[in-house]
């Protein structure tokens, strides 16, 4: 029954967002006359790979740049791409992946294989559940493009500053996953667009109810403290290289 209701909800969302997807895919195509969609192989539940679909926000030869982490000042991003990334419109086509059963609406964000291969044994616990379009870290670190502006090595920045917190929040989600939590995260994903401080405070209160290994975690979630370099779950020192 839960799976059926999830499918119906996804179908309704797909119908609602289809006009938005079509409109922006047309604009992206008009910009450079190339495929407006971007297909990326990601790793899902139990390490199974799948093809994730997004609206393309970068130039067609973006593969020539080696960085996997993208700042908002990245030269690969097209003018239309800046708009779709700012409002997360590039993520909307992933509703197709939800309908196919690759991912859920809520769950840890799926990673590329190279990133998953760097996981510690503890971090691999993230793969116990299906990935999703949104989760706690997607809301908390929704400004990743901004905070990584001007960084000389975006991938090292991600490994040292972002991954430790993102993985911790993903593992907390896995431990406490429930329909009620999913509903709240869907709601907070929406409110985060126009009431970010209120949203982060609500998430911080949720995290405070759980057990966590870093005392600053609720403050990080509320973003009353900036993200800082820390060891990833299952490691005793900060990552030295991405």
Q: What does the pLDDT look like over 73-109, one tens digit per residue?
A: 788 889 999 999 988 899 999 999 999 999 999 999 9
With respect to residue 239, please indicate whether it lies within any of the assigned structural domains.
no
Range of the domain at 180: 2-222
Asked, for residue 161, whether it belongs to a domain, the answer is yes
* pLDDT < 50 regions, the chain: none
Cα distances from 221 to residues 128, 156, 202, 215, 225, in angstroms, run 23, 21, 9, 11, 8
Q: Is residue 234 part of a domain?
A: no
| Reported pTM | 0.91
CB environment 218-229: b (16+ within 10 A), e (fewer) = bebbbbeeebee
Whether 238 is in a domain gets the answer no
Number of domains the chain contains: 1
Supply the pLDDT for residue 148. 86
The answer to whether residue 232 sits within a structural domain is no
Backbone angles phi and psi of 22, in degrees to 5 = -65, -40
- The pLDDT value given to residue 135: 95
10 part of a folded domain: yes
In a domain, 123, yes or no: yes
Residue 90 resides in a domain:
yes
∠ CA(132), CA(56), CA(26), 5° rounding? 115
């Amino acid at each position: 029954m839960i799976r059926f209701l999830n499918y119906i909800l996804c179908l309704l969302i797909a119908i609602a967002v289809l006009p938005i997807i079509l409109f922006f895919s047309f604009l992206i195509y008009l910009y450079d006359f190339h495929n407006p969609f971007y297909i990326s192989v990601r790793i899902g539940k139990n390490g199974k790979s799948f093809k994730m679909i997004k609206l393309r926000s970068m130039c067609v030869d973006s593969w020539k740049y080696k960085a996997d982490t993208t700042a908002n000042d990245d030269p690969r991003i097209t003018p239309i791409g800046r708009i779709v990334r700012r409002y997360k419109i590039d993520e909307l086509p992933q509703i197709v992946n939800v309908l196919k059963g690759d991912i859920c609406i809520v769950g840890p964000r799926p990673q590329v294989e190279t990133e998953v291969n760097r996981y510690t044994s503890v971090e691999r616990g993230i793969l116990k559940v299906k990935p999703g379009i949104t989760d706690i870290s997607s809301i908390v670190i929704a400004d990743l493009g901004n905070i990584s502006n001007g960084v000389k090595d975006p991938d090292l920045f991600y490994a040292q500053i972002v991954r430790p917190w993102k993985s911790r929040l993903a593992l907390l989600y896995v431990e406490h996953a429930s329909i009620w939590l999913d509903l709240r995260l869907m709601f907070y994903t929406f409110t985060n667009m126009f009431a970010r401080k209120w949203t982060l405070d609500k998430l911080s209160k949720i995290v405070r109810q759980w057990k966590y290994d870093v005392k600053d975690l609720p403050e990080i979630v509320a973003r009353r403290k900036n993200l800082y370099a820390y060891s990833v779950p299952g490691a005793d020192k900060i990552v030295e290289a991405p």
